A and B are shown apart, each in its own frame.
Chain A
Amino acid sequence: MEFFERFAIPHPSPLIYASMVAIGLVMLAIVFGLTYFKKWGYLWREWLTTVDHKRIGIMYMISAILMLFRGGADAVMMRLQTAVPDNTFLDAQHYNEVFTTHGVVMIIFMAMAFIIGMMNFVVPLQIGARDVAFPRLNAISFWLYFAGAMLFNISFVIGGSPDAGWTNYFPLAGTDFSETVGVNYYMWALQISGLGTLMTGINFIVTIFKMRAPGMTLMKMPMFTWSALITNVIIVFAFPVLTIALLMGTFDRQFGTHFFASTNGGMDMLWANLFWVWGHPEVYILILPAFGVYSEVIATFSQRNLYGYKSMVGSMVLISFMSFLVWVHHFFTMGHGALVNGIFSITTMAIAVPTGIKIFNWLLTMWKGKIRFTVPMLYSIGFIPLFTIGGVTGVMLAIASADYQYHNTMFLVAHFHNVIIPGVVFAMLAGLTYWWPKMFGFMLNERIGKWGFWFLSIGFCLAFFPMYITGLDGQARRMYTYSEETGFGPLNMLSFFGAGLMAIAFILIVYNVYYSFRYAPRNVGQDPWNARSLEWATQTPVPEYNFAVTPVVNSSEAYWDSKKNGHQLFKDKISKIHMPNNSGLPIIMAGFFFIFGFSFVFSIWVGVILSALGIFGCMAYRTFENDHGRYISEEEIHETEKNFGGAKE
């Protein structure tokens, strides 16, 4: 019996039982639906085994939106709990689990998935490639991410969620203070999806360096591709640190080592350092692709070329380098003295300079432009002032002496939501709306989209601006409750109200998908926004081979030049195209990884060994597999292109 007791939740509550039932029902409904509509084969052939970067990108984004709702539910629960003083909606332990999973889900499984999904869909199209460099590796990346996300999400129904914060500081995260398997889940879920991310990093660097269309030198790449390149370089440098830190943490928890213990030569501060050596570049991994999206959207809807292309690229390169030099600002209060703090304070503030350059370049892109207020543009316009506020509060936090007062307070919480929500989330919504017609062949409804934007922006301001004030009034973060005398009550209530508006916004955004799917016209053409870069030069929705003929590029806005200046994009004749075959191996391998992670979490060594054999078996199979891909014949391409409205030669 003892064997099974470990799987029970240590702190059950009606909410958890309700979500267990909900999860069960949803899974039953999905299985039943797929069987009833006879879609199992379609799902397997077209999606689960696909190596097409566009479909993988879409699957990433669907998962990201699901995770957004998971993390969002956590957020609403937290705001509800703290809306009034001495609330008893959640108890301390449950609240601790909720804010931990909120952080992890939003950063690792929502934001990361969203940006990687968007890079997957857009980058090969923007550089005129047929796919990424290693399509099957790309599928493995996605399925590893998915396995990690699922592993993390089952934690709250089997064995208990992690409860040491998303930063997971030792010794709190060690077995002395966190006895349940929760933190084991944290270790393995992040480890598995982190491996996927690392593979993505390598894949995209190779793709961008080796697979650009003829004529596209590095300085003629569209800005989103540039941001993707820099992001992936940061990924390749930063993620190995996380991999090792997680492994050391696992050893501490499960094999009795003392890397992060405060006794026997271990050092608790080592975790904090390793975590943030990865964690701070991670912030820029999230924000740079967002900057890329804004650069595309603002240029398109101002009907102008991007101002200061070179300084945009230069500032991103500088940011990527400096992002590795600032990690200590996450724990100025650890007592390393004024000299160390002074140095990291200066490097941190210095990183504001390249970021500031970008803000002014976007403003100057609008200058003399012809600005259209579409939904993607609204998000970009809202981004500029809101992100500036988030940025300048970042500079305030960078002043070490003042940080002694902001640290660990709601001021900090307000700051990083102020950069991540208008920065990353707005960008992803802008990008999703912008590239939606490329993905699905119809546009999202503008009216509902605008409602969504206003609910989200106003909700955001109401939810997070009060936190700056309560932070300065001494409200520490991560407190599950507070007394009435503190006077935090009214402002926290306002925050809860704002969170409610944001929840409505996300429901509107999803409703918009449903509404537009049913009612939007399908004949939008290949370039509905009058856009500028290469992805708009192909058909809508994009055929699996992307471009029937590889385009020839002369500038960073090749498609615009072809529309306005008579540049000829497609010079060659259509000939047969080599494409990779679909493969079931990635999802099977990720399945083994899931079992491996789950077994490891509960120290079920038989499961660990068997699944490890399975993983190596998959690798061996791939090594000896004879799969050279396939060709799409000329006739087939002509046929496809004709269906989309005439071949382009």
Chain B
Amino acid sequence: MKLKLAFISIAILITTILAGCEPLLVLDPKGPQAETTANVIWLSIITMAIIVIVVIVLLTIMLVKYRASKQSEDYEPPHIEGNPIVEAIIIGIPILIVAFLSIVSVKSTYEVETVPEGYENQEPLVIYASSSDWKWHFSYPEQDIETLNYVFLPTNRPVEFRLYSYGPITSFWIPQLAGQKYAMADMVTKINIVAETPGDYAGRNANFSGEGFAENTFTATALAPSEFDKWVEEIHATAEPLTEEQFDKLLEPGHLGQMTFTGTHLDFRPAPEGEHSGHNHGDSAEDHDNHEEHEDHEEHENHENHDEHSGH
């Protein structure tokens, strides 16, 4: 069959391309979160490939065996209503596959949403990542520094990115470290990342956000904790402090290169969390909208602690 041939040749083409090139970013993980997703992706590709192959084989058998040109002129196909056993099989097997993948999905989703296994006891490094048209601002409240369009991470330490946006919805994505999460103007979302291998990783906004969207990228550099500390010290020694005026200028639509500052914009332009959240209608935490899960309340308290720290 031409059709079958076409599919086989396409399958071969795809495998050669897959094998011939460098590993695809998503399937070349450098941290536990991305590794979980890469494993899930491989598992689902294999499961799904089996289904596709079964369907193509069945189709080929039907087409080869029951094509009109192979049958006698007076062959009259029978009237078949359906068979409970056959139908139970074609319902039952998909249900089993879906049940299996549901378990995989729920389990892995919980995994990538929390701090990776083995890192729960370490205190995470908190980095606020906020997007503006069409840049990424990274604020390190603990280190009291801020960078533009690049971020340094210590390896083997959990990093908690807190995401929000000074404009349209954006999506924070470092494919080799973890999947995406949206950054929005009226609330803070969180992403847990651990980088296990030092290196430079491409990061970008993956959610369309207007004219400059294509170039809305950044670099994430993972480096050993000691080097990370050295880098922080260096910044404190060399960089200029970030002023409110300067920050407002940075927010104007456009593209800028990489920049470094001491201090963060969180002091004069707090992140939309806790009392600054777009959906906070009063002082009491009970007034929070339902969509903010109770985790956020804890975070609210954490945040206040941070404020106290930075107030020193």
A residues lining the B interface (CB < 8 Å): 92-93, 96, 163-165, 169, 171-172, 176-178, 262-263, 265, 267-269, 272, 302-305, 307-311, 331, 333-338, 341-342, 345-346, 349-350, 352-353, 356-357, 359-361, 363-364, 366-373, 381-382, 384-385, 388-389, 392-393, 395-396, 398-405, 407-409, 454, 457-458, 461, 465-466, 469, 472-474, 476-482, 487, 491
Cα separation A349 to B96 with both chains bound (whole Å): 11
Cα separation A280 to B202 with both chains bound (whole Å): 32
Contacts of B87 in A (CB 8 A): 308, 311, 357
Q: How far in angstroms is the closest Cβ of chain A from B73?
A: 10
How many pairs, one residue from A and one from B, have CB atoms within 8 Å of each other in the complex?
Answer: 292
User: Within residues 84 to 115 of chain B, which ones have a CB less than 8 A from any CB in chain A?
Assistant: 86-87, 90-91, 94-95, 98, 101-102, 104-106, 108-114
Tell whether, in the assembled complex, residue B186 and residue A267 are in contact, meaning their CB atoms are under 8 Å apart: yes
Tell whether, in the assembled complex, residue B66 and residue A407 are in contact, meaning their CB atoms are under 8 Å apart: no
Tell whether, in the assembled complex, residue B86 and residue A364 are in contact, meaning their CB atoms are under 8 Å apart: yes
Tell whether, in the assembled complex, residue B40 and residue A401 are in contact, meaning their CB atoms are under 8 Å apart: yes
Contacts of A309 in B (CB 8 A): 81-82
Cα separation A171 to B185 with both chains bound (whole Å): 9
Tell whether, in the assembled complex, residue B190 and residue A481 are in contact, meaning their CB atoms are under 8 Å apart: no
Nearest chain-A residue to B165 (Cβ)?
A262
Interface core residue of B66, B112, B205 (most chain A CB under 10 Å): B66
A178-B210, A405-B175, A472-B26 given; name 5 further pairs at CB < 8 Å: A338-B106, A350-B98, A385-B7, A399-B40, A472-B24
Q: How far in angstroms is the closest Cβ of chain B from A91?
A: 9
Tell whether, in the assembled complex, residue B108 and residue A402 are in contact, meaning their CB atoms are under 8 Å apart: yes
Nearest chain-A residue to B73 (Cβ)?
A370
Tell whether, in the assembled complex, residue B90 and residue A405 are in contact, meaning their CB atoms are under 8 Å apart: no
What 8 pairs across the A-B complex have the smallest Cβ distances? A404-B179, A335-B189, A392-B48, A262-B185, A172-B168, A401-B108, A360-B90, A408-B206
B118 at the interface (CB under 8 A from A): no
Q: How far in angstroms is the closest Cβ of chain B from A352?
A: 6
Given A96-B211, A342-B110: A268 and B184 within 8 A (CB)?
yes
Tell whether, in the assembled complex, residue B71 and residue A307 are in contact, meaning their CB atoms are under 8 Å apart: no
User: Within residues 184 to 243 of chain B, which ones have a CB less than 8 A from any CB in chain A?
Assistant: 184-187, 189-190, 202, 204-214
Cα separation A263 to B169 with both chains bound (whole Å): 14
Given A356-B94, A400-B105: A393 and B48 within 8 A (CB)?
yes
Contacts of B76 in A (CB 8 A): 303
Tell whether, in the assembled complex, residue B62 and residue A405 are in contact, meaning their CB atoms are under 8 Å apart: no
Tell whether, in the assembled complex, residue A405 and residue B179 are in contact, meaning their CB atoms are under 8 Å apart: yes
Q: Interface digits, B143-180 against A, CB 8 Å rule (1 contact, 0 not)?
A: 00000000000000000000000011101010100111
Given A93-B211, A338-B109: A356 and B90 within 8 A (CB)?
yes
Contacts of B44 in A (CB 8 A): 395-396, 399, 402
Nearest chain-A residue to B44 (Cβ)?
A396
Cα separation A25 to B187 with both chains bound (whole Å): 52
Tell whether, in the assembled complex, residue B80 and residue A395 are in contact, meaning their CB atoms are under 8 Å apart: no
B37 at the interface (CB under 8 A from A): yes
Tell whether, in the assembled complex, residue A342 and residue B6 are in contact, meaning their CB atoms are under 8 Å apart: no
Cα separation A648 to B53 with both chains bound (whole Å): 49
Tell whether, in the assembled complex, residue A402 and residue B186 are in contact, meaning their CB atoms are under 8 Å apart: no
Cα separation A175 to B168 with both chains bound (whole Å): 11
Tell whether, in the assembled complex, residue A366 and residue B62 are in contact, meaning their CB atoms are under 8 Å apart: yes
Tell whether, in the assembled complex, residue A352 and residue B94 are in contact, meaning their CB atoms are under 8 Å apart: yes
Tell whether, in the assembled complex, residue B25 and residue A472 are in contact, meaning their CB atoms are under 8 Å apart: yes
Q: How far in angstroms is the closest Cβ of chain B from A473?
A: 4
29 A/B residue pairs, CB under 8 Å, sorted by A: A169-B207, A169-B208, A178-B210, A267-B279, A305-B79, A308-B87, A311-B87, A333-B179, A333-B182, A337-B293, A337-B295, A349-B98, A352-B94, A353-B91, A353-B98, A360-B90, A363-B55, A364-B80, A367-B66, A370-B67, A385-B52, A395-B98, A399-B104, A399-B108, A401-B105, A402-B37, A404-B179, A407-B206, A477-B208
Of the candidate stretches B10-18, B121-129, B263-271, B304-312, the one touching chain A is: B10-18
Cα separation A16 to B110 with both chains bound (whole Å): 49
Given A398-B105, A402-B44: A172 and B75 within 8 A (CB)?
no
Nearest chain-A residue to B178 (Cβ)?
A404
Contacts of B211 in A (CB 8 A): 92-93, 96
Cα separation A527 to B40 with both chains bound (whole Å): 51
User: Which bracket fits the contact residues of B?
Assistant: 35 or more
Q: Interface digits, B56-72 against A, CB 8 Å rule (1 contact, 0 not)?
A: 10110011001110010
Chain A, interface SS category: helix
B45 at the interface (CB under 8 A from A): yes
Contacts of A307 in B (CB 8 A): 80, 82
Q: How far in angstroms is the closest Cβ of chain A from B312?
A: 31
Tell whether, in the assembled complex, residue A352 and residue B214 are in contact, meaning their CB atoms are under 8 Å apart: no
B78 at the interface (CB under 8 A from A): yes
Interface core residue of A171, A334, A352, A370 (most chain B CB under 10 Å): A370
Nearest chain-B residue to A481 (Cβ)?
B214
Cα separation A159 to B155 with both chains bound (whole Å): 52
Given A308-B87, A353-B94, A370-B66: A401 and B179 within 8 A (CB)?
yes
Tell whether, in the assembled complex, residue B291 and residue A402 are in contact, meaning their CB atoms are under 8 Å apart: no
Tell whether, in the assembled complex, residue B208 and residue A404 are in contact, meaning their CB atoms are under 8 Å apart: no
Nearest chain-B residue to A476 (Cβ)?
B206
Tell whether, in the assembled complex, residue B56 and residue A385 are in contact, meaning their CB atoms are under 8 Å apart: yes
Contacts of B82 in A (CB 8 A): 307-311, 361
Nearest chain-A residue to B60 (Cβ)?
A385
Contacts of A461 in B (CB 8 A): 6, 10
Tell whether, in the assembled complex, residue A388 and residue B55 are in contact, meaning their CB atoms are under 8 Å apart: yes
Q: How far in angstroms is the closest Cβ of chain A from B91?
A: 6
Tell whether, in the assembled complex, residue B105 and residue A263 are in contact, meaning their CB atoms are under 8 Å apart: no
Contacts of A176 in B (CB 8 A): 167
B251 at the interface (CB under 8 A from A): no
Tell whether, in the assembled complex, residue A172 and residue B209 are in contact, meaning their CB atoms are under 8 Å apart: yes
Cα separation A342 to B109 with both chains bound (whole Å): 7
Tell whether, in the assembled complex, residue A370 and residue B178 are in contact, meaning their CB atoms are under 8 Å apart: no
Tell whether, in the assembled complex, residue B68 and residue A345 are in contact, meaning their CB atoms are under 8 Å apart: no
Tell whether, in the assembled complex, residue B180 and residue A349 are in contact, meaning their CB atoms are under 8 Å apart: no
Q: How far in angstroms is the closest Cβ of chain A from B167?
A: 7
Tell whether, in the assembled complex, residue B213 and residue A92 are in contact, meaning their CB atoms are under 8 Å apart: yes
Cα separation A363 to B207 with both chains bound (whole Å): 39
Contacts of A172 in B (CB 8 A): 167-169, 208-210
Tell whether, in the assembled complex, residue B171 and residue A177 are in contact, meaning their CB atoms are under 8 Å apart: no
B278 at the interface (CB under 8 A from A): yes
Given A346-B102, A407-B179, A407-B206: A396 and B77 within 8 A (CB)?
no
With beta carbons under 8 angstroms apart, the residue of B55, B59, B180 that contacts A404 is B180
With beta carbons under 8 angstroms apart, the residue of A359, A401, A457, A482 that contacts B36 is A401
Interface core residue of B75, B173, B189 (most chain A CB under 10 Å): B173
Contacts of A337 in B (CB 8 A): 113, 293, 295
Contacts of A308 in B (CB 8 A): 81-82, 87
User: Within residues 265 to 304 of chain B, which ones have a CB less than 8 A from any CB in chain A?
Assistant: 278-279, 281, 291, 293, 295
Cα separation A382 to B175 with both chains bound (whole Å): 34
Cα separation A416 to B19 with both chains bound (whole Å): 25
User: Within residues 1 to 57 of chain B, which ones have a CB less than 8 A from any CB in chain A?
Assistant: 2-3, 6-7, 10, 14, 17-18, 21-22, 24-27, 34, 36-37, 40-41, 44-45, 48, 51-52, 55-56
